[in-house]
Every structure is written in structure tokens, then in C-alpha cells.
């Protein structure tokens, strides 16, 4: 007679017998429940293109560190940045004070941050500013003359700046010298924690859980739940692809 062992029973057996070399740890077995490529939509949320699509690829991990990526909307990911002096992704129009109006960047593959899997509950966060991470890493840190010990990727000053007719922004230094710069660069370099974060050695965007949080229940080949941080609370509906 053949005895069929369920996934839950198998986990109990592994817990009782212990994990010998070559066996899959319990945490990894739990993470495996969500492994795969998922596609679906977010109710009540529309991105710049009008799309409500979401794609999720869970590649593995353990119960307390789920690994994967998430992208939104339609279209391919933007190409890697090559020019530190123009907006990124190419063609992005930033407001003078807030580049976040361009987020999330559709097609960009966001890393899962603080991902956890408890039973069938999958939780993780995203850092929407991650799209600028590689662009920020092209920047050269500049000492902030206004705030001691701080670094930025454009000179800081107490002088005001403005928007020119061609859509670029005017940056004035303490001596009154004016320079035309890309408005996105101005916002990302002088915006503090809303853009690039610099030290004396480099600039980047730290991958910390900020603003967007998912809470999903995985049931076979479906995953449903909520996301907060993309406007109103959105209901997420996902199906695992074959």
C-alpha cells in the first residue's frame, strides 16, 4: 500500500527527525511554497501607462529572507544608466521639488526587501527609489558647504534656484554663479533622503524597506492580499505561471 504524505506532514516529519546533510531546511521548504513567476493586477491602482499589472518572481530563500523581484505596469525594464547628468530613466520629467511623481518606474525590477514567509503568509517591502540606485552610483560626492559632514552630488548653497524656459533648472552657488542642470538631477542630488544618499566615497540608494509593503496569502497557484504605499490600499491578485 502506498502512503501519500502531504507537504504539511512532510515538514512535521523533518522537524521530528532533524535535517541530515543534503536535506532541505524547513525554512527553505516554506519559502518554496511561493517560488515561481507570478502575474496579476492591483485593484484601484493605475500606473503612468494606465496599466494595473504586477509581476513577481520569487527565486527562493529561507523563511526569514525571501528573495525575488517585483515589477509594475507594462514594458521592459529601463536600460542601465550611462549619463550622470541627465534624468533617469531617460525621458523622465521630474517636478522641481519632487522626483517621486515619476515612481514607480514601470518595468523596473524592484528587489524584495525584508521578505518573510510564515506558513502561507508572504510579506515584503519595496524601495521605489531603487530605480535610481545605479544612476546615483555614477555620481561624484561633493562636500556640503551648508551642513558640515554631509555629502551630496551637486553643490549645495543657500541661494535660490529656478526653472528655465527649456525645462532645465537653474542652480546658483554662494558666490552668485548660476549653472543650468537637469531638474531630475537637481532634485535627486539635493533632495536628501528622497534621492541619492552620499558619503565621502560614493553615492547610492540604500535598499531599506520604505513606503511600499505587501501582505499576501499563498494558496496553491494563487496569491491574494494587499499593498499599501501605492496610493490607496490596493487588493493584489496574482496567479503562478506554468
pLDDT tens-digit readout, 149-167: 889 998 886 555 666 667 6
| Tens-binned pLDDT, residue by residue, of the chain (242 aa) | 333 434 433 333 333 333 343 333 334 566 789 999 999 999 988 898 899 999 999 999 887 889 999 999 988 889 999 999 988 888 776 755 566 666 899 999 999 999 999 889 999 999 999 999 999 999 999 998 877 888 999 888 655 566 666 768 888 776 777 888 888 888 888 866 678 999 999 999 999 887 899 999 999 999 999 999 998 889 999 999 99
- pLDDT for 79 equals 93
- Map grid coordinates 525590477 to a residue: 109
- Map grid coordinates 504524505 to a residue: 5
Q: Is the peptide bond before 98 cis (omega within 30 degrees of 0)?
A: no
CA angle centred on 122, ends 18 and 32, rounded to 5°: 45
- pLDDT for 98 equals 60
Q: Where exactly are the structural domains of the chain?
A: 33-240
- Map grid coordinates 517621486 to a residue: 100
CA atoms of 227 and 225, how far apart (whole Å) = 7
- pLDDT for 202 equals 96
- Write down the pTM of the prediction: 0.80
DSSP string, 26-38: HHHHHHHTT-EEE
CA atoms of 15 and 46, how far apart (whole Å) = 44
Helix (H), strand (E), coil (C) string for 38-82: EEEEEECCCCCCCCCEEEEEEEEEECCEEEEEEEECCCCCCCCCC
- pLDDT for 21 equals 38
Is the Cβ–Cβ distance between 146 and 156 less than 8 Å?
A: yes
- pLDDT for 39 equals 98
- pLDDT for 176 equals 73
State pLDDT tens for residues 56-99. 999 998 878 899 999 999 888 899 999 999 888 887 767 555 66
CA atoms of 110 and 184, how far apart (whole Å) = 20
- pLDDT for 95 equals 58
Amino acid at each position: 500500500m502506498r502512503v501519500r504524505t502531504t507537504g504539511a506532514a512532510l515538514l512535521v516529519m523533518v522537524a521530528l527527525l532533524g535535517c541530515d546533510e543534503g536535506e532541505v531546511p524547513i525554512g527553505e521548504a516554506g519559502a518554496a511554497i511561493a517560488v515561481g513567476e507570478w502575474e496579476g493586477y492591483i485593484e484601484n491602482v493605475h500606473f503612468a501607462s494606465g496599466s494595473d499589472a504586477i509581476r513577481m518572481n520569487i527565486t527562493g530563500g529561507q523563511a526569514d529572507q525571501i528573495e525575488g523581484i517585483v515589477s509594475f505596469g507594462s514594458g521592459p525594464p529601463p536600460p542601465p544608466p550611462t549619463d550622470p547628468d541627465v534624468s533617469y530613466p531617460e525621458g523622465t520629467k521630474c517636478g522641481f521639488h519632487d522626483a517621486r511623481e515619476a515612481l514607480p518606474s514601470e518595468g523596473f525590477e524592484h528587489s524584495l526587501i525584508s521578505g518573510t514567509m510564515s506558513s502561507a503568509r508572504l510579506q515584503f517591502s519595496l524601495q521605489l527609489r531603487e530605480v535610481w540606485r545605479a544612476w546615483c552610483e555614477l555620481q561624484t560626492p561633493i562636500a556640503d558647504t551648508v551642513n558640515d559632514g554631509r555629502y551630496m552630488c551637486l553643490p549645495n548653497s543657500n541661494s535660490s534656484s529656478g526653472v528655465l524656459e527649456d525645462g532645465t533648472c537653474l542652480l546658483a552657488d554662494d558666490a552668485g554663479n548660476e549653472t543650468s542642470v537637469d531638474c531630475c538631477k537637481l532634485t535627486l542630488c539635493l533632495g536628501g533622503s528622497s534621492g541619492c544618499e552620499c558619503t565621502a566615497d560614493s553615492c547610492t540608494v540604500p535598499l531599506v524597506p520604505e513606503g511600499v509593503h505587501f501582505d499576501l496569502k499563498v494558496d496553491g497557484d494563487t496569491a491574494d492580499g494587499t499593498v499599501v504605499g501605492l496610493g490607496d490600499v490596493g487588493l493584489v491578485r496574482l496567479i503562478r505561471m506554468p
